[in-house]
């Protein structure tokens, strides 16, 4: 069996296709079930985020596996296979491992180094484990991806290669002005109360807005976020608004940040036009003096997001006054938080970082390569500001699918930054040195994973060999006791120990060496050689493999219980 991944992401597909192909939770469950029911696949896991949909499987046939996985993705995404195929990429065996580890390190993210992907990988593994679609290979792979992602964040400055997605979006709204000066004293509406929205609220509070209004479908979550904001004691005004009153709130605020899990539009162009026409206060008007960012508030918001969801790209926390480092669920946040706490009660869309970036100079015109790099990583480049009418309402849409009607950009006095404009702003910039360091880590870990898998592949055969040897020893000892009935118990025990010691010594060196050789490239053939040389029963080998897989599942279940 071999690892195969078929998927699409912001590297291969335009935003319009990603939006239509987005998989809700129930569709992901059905996709996993249908995949393992298909002939080529024995294991399956789905990684579905704001800017990627990837189906991982352990298959016994490459071409049949690609065809089956592509068809299943098309069926469950609702995008026809003929339309979807040009945007799909395929990675196989070591290239598939390399791809997932790169994704886990944030190398394939729109903002390089963002850490929220680790939580999404953990969620993908948990779902596959709960549905029993993840076996030994995918369990090992996804656990390795989580470890490598954490290592990249702790050993390198990959967090510095990118920046907070909310901060990046706000920088695009300011058209070159310092964010703190631009935001000071403004009134902001945050739509959504997931981890990304919590990050938005923390960022807005940090840069000095005077008021934050939180609207969310679940009022209790909005109230909790407002409670944290209000308890900080900084004079920041924070309150909850019902989703039904968002249109009214638009007339009272200067800035809107929206990141919900809604499948339809949250803000229509008509609602925005009406708010602007009613006289929303221009964001260019005089504002109070800038107040210093409050480190305590940022720390509390970060900790709250760690408890309730995942706080991505929180490197700014380390720079806040009074916050030297934060321990968030056991993960050091002094150089950018890397959280992997599952988001309770959140769907993938409500916990996503900024949605997809679309390459603007190398848009795909055909099928993506089946191997190789997913696309070179970039850091944000400067964007020449476009001339706009005086801005009355600034909108930042970080949702996938989009929350805000793209047509609002035609309304005078409205400034919209959405996933496509963020993609344009982040394209074609030079590489950071930290990215190269992470690439080296990924390459080393891919080699280590391959060696471990090859060694693990031969383990059932070695166990079967030792089992066969033990059976032979027992049979011969029984025959010997029948021929020498006068031996007392001490003599029989000495005879048994001697025979077993001889067999163990004969098997020790070759079995240790064959495990070492199996870990090297091309070492998979040693298992076949052992089975042939010793005429091992394939059913015995298979039963050992199944027992090992069941032990792994029991361990995973215990680990989930402790979590």
Residue 116 annotated as binding? yes
Q: Which residues of the chain have pLDDT under 70?
A: 1, 160-164, 232-234, 279-390, 426-432, 519, 521-524, 538-563
Same domain (yes/no): 305, 225 = yes
Per-residue pLDDT at 186: 93
pLDDT tens-digit map of 507-553 = 888 888 877 777 676 666 777 787 788 887 766 666 655 555 555 55
Q: Is residue 265 part of a domain?
A: yes
User: Which of 449, 483, 499 represents a domain boundary (last residue)?
Assistant: 449
Q: Is residue 156 part of a domain?
A: yes
Buried residues in 520-550 as b, exposed as e (16+ CB within 10 A): eeebeebbeebbeeeebeeebbeebbeebbe
Taking Cα atoms as reference points, which of 278, 444, 426, 197 lies closest to residue 417? 426
Q: Is residue 366 part of a domain?
A: no
pLDDT tens-digit map of 315-363 = 333 343 333 333 333 332 333 333 333 333 334 334 444 333 333 333 3
Residue 80 annotated as binding? no
Residue 279 annotated as binding? no
- The model scores a pTM over 0.85: no
Q: Is residue 377 part of a domain?
A: no
Taking Cα atoms as reference points, which of 106, 112, 9, 10 lies closest to residue 379? 112
Same domain (yes/no): 312, 191 = yes
Per-residue pLDDT at 530: 78
Same domain (yes/no): 23, 65 = yes
HEC sequence for 202-231? HHHHHHCCCEEEEECCCHHHHHHHHHHHHH
Residue 197 annotated as binding? yes
Per-residue pLDDT at 540: 64
Per-residue pLDDT at 372: 41
Same domain (yes/no): 226, 252 = yes
- The catalytic site residues sit at 50
Same domain (yes/no): 13, 25 = yes
Same domain (yes/no): 386, 514 = no
Residue 51 annotated as binding? yes
Stated as kind and residue range, the H or E segment containing 557 is: helix 538-562
Whole-angstrom distance between the N-terminal and C-terminal Cα of the chain? 31
Same domain (yes/no): 64, 31 = yes
Q: What is the CATH number of the domain that holds 152?
A: 3.30.460.30
d(CA 302, CA 236) in angstroms, rounded, equals: 17
Q: Domain range holding 415? A: 163-359+382-429
Same domain (yes/no): 259, 349 = yes
Per-residue pLDDT at 333: 32
Same domain (yes/no): 104, 178 = no
Residue 417 tokens, joined: 């930054």
Same domain (yes/no): 8, 151 = yes
Residue 114 annotated as binding? yes
Count up the domains in the chain and report the number.
3
Residue 538 tokens, joined: 């394939």
Q: Is residue 248 part of a domain?
A: yes
Residue 52 annotated as binding? yes
Residue 194 annotated as binding? yes
C-alpha distance from residue 533 to each of 425, 461, 529 (Å): 61, 12, 6
d(CA 178, CA 318) in angstroms, rounded, equals: 20
Per-residue pLDDT at 124: 96
Per-residue pLDDT at 384: 41
Per-residue pLDDT at 551: 55
Residue 109 annotated as binding? yes
Q: Is residue 170 part of a domain?
A: yes
Buried residues in 105-130 as b, exposed as e (16+ CB within 10 A): bbbbbbbbbbbbbbbbbbbbbbbbbe
Separation of CA 276 from chain center? 38
Provide the β-strand partners of residue 416: 395
Q: Is residue 368 part of a domain?
A: no
d(CA 207, CA 191) in angstroms, rounded, equals: 18
Residue 88 tokens, joined: 């799909």
Residue 50 annotated as binding? yes
Q: Is residue 341 part of a domain?
A: yes
Residue labelled with tokens 């939006």: 19
Strand bridging mode 2-9 / 89-92: antiparallel
Q: What is the CATH number of the domain that holds 391?
A: 3.40.50.720
Same domain (yes/no): 218, 232 = yes
Residue 335 annotated as binding? no
Same domain (yes/no): 67, 103 = yes
Residue 550 annotated as binding? no
């Amino acid at each position: 069996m071999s690892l195969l991944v078929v998927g699409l992401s912001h590297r291969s597909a335009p935003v319009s296709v990603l939006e239509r192909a987005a998989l809700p939770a129930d569709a992901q469950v059905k996709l996993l079930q249908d995949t393992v029911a298909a002939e080529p696949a024995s294991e399956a896991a789905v990684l579905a985020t704001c800017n990627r949909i990837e189906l991982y499987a352990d298959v016994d046939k490459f071409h049949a596996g690609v065809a089956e996985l592509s068809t299943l993705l098309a069926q469950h995404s609702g995008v026809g296979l003929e339309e979807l195929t040009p945007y799909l990429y395929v990675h196989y065996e070591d290239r598939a491992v390399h791809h997932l580890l790169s994704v886990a390190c944030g190398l394939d993210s729109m903002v390089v180094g963002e850490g929220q992907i680790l939580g999404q990988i953990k969620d993908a593994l948990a779902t596959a484990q709960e549905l029993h679609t993840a076996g030994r290979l995918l369990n090992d792979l996804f656990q390795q991806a989580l470890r490598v992602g954490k290592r990249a964040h702790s050993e390198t400055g990959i967090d510095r290669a990118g920046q907070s997605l909310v901060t990046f979006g706000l920088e695009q709204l300011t058209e070159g002005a310092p964010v703190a000066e631009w935001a000071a004293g403004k009134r902001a509406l945050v739509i959504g109360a997931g981890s990304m929205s919590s990050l938005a609220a923390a960022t807005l509070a940090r840069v000095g807005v005077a008021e934050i209004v939180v609207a969310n479908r679940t009022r209790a979550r909005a109230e909790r976020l407002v409670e944290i904001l209000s308890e900080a004691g900084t004079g920041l005004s924070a309150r909850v608004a019902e989703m039904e009153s968002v249109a009214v709130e638009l007339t009272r605020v200067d800035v809107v940040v929206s990141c919900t899990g809604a499948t339809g539009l949250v803000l229509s162009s008509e609602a925005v036009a009406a708010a602007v026409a009613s006289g929303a206060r221009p964001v260019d008007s005089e504002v109070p003096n800038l107040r210093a960012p409050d480190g305590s508030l940022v720390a509390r918001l970060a900790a709250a997001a760690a408890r309730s969801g995942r706080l991505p790209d929180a490197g700014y926390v380390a720079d806040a006054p009074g916050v030297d480092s934060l321990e968030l669920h056991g993960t050091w946040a002094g150089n950018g938080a890397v959280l992997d706490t599952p988001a309770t009660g959140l769907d993938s869309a409500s916990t996503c970082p900024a949605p997809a970036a679309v390459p603007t100079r190398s848009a795909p015109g055909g099928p993506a390569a089946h191997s190789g790099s997913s696309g070179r990583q970039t850091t944000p480049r400067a964007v020449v500001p476009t001339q706009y009418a005086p801005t009355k309402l600034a909108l930042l849409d970080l949702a996938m699918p989009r929350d805000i009607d793209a047509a609002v950009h035609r309304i005078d006095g409205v400034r919209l930054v959405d996933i496509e404009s963020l993609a344009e702003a982040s394209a074609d910039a030079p590489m950071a040195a930290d990215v190269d360091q992470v690439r080296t880590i990924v390459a080393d870990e891919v080699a280590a994973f391959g060696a471990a898998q090859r060694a693990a592949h031969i383990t059932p055969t070695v166990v079967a060999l030792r089992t066969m040897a033990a059976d032979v020893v027992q049979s011969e000892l029984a025959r010997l006791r029948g021929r020498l009935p006068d031996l007392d118990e001490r003599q029989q025990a000495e005879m048994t120990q001697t025979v077993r010691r001889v067999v163990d010594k004969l098997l020790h060196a070759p079995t240790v060496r064959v495990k070492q050789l199996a870990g090297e490239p091309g070492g998979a053939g040693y298992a076949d050689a052992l089975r042939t040389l010793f005429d091992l029963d394939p059913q015995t080998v298979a039963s050992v493999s199944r027992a090992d897989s069941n032990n792994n599942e029991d361990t995973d279940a215990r680990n989930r219980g402790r979590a």
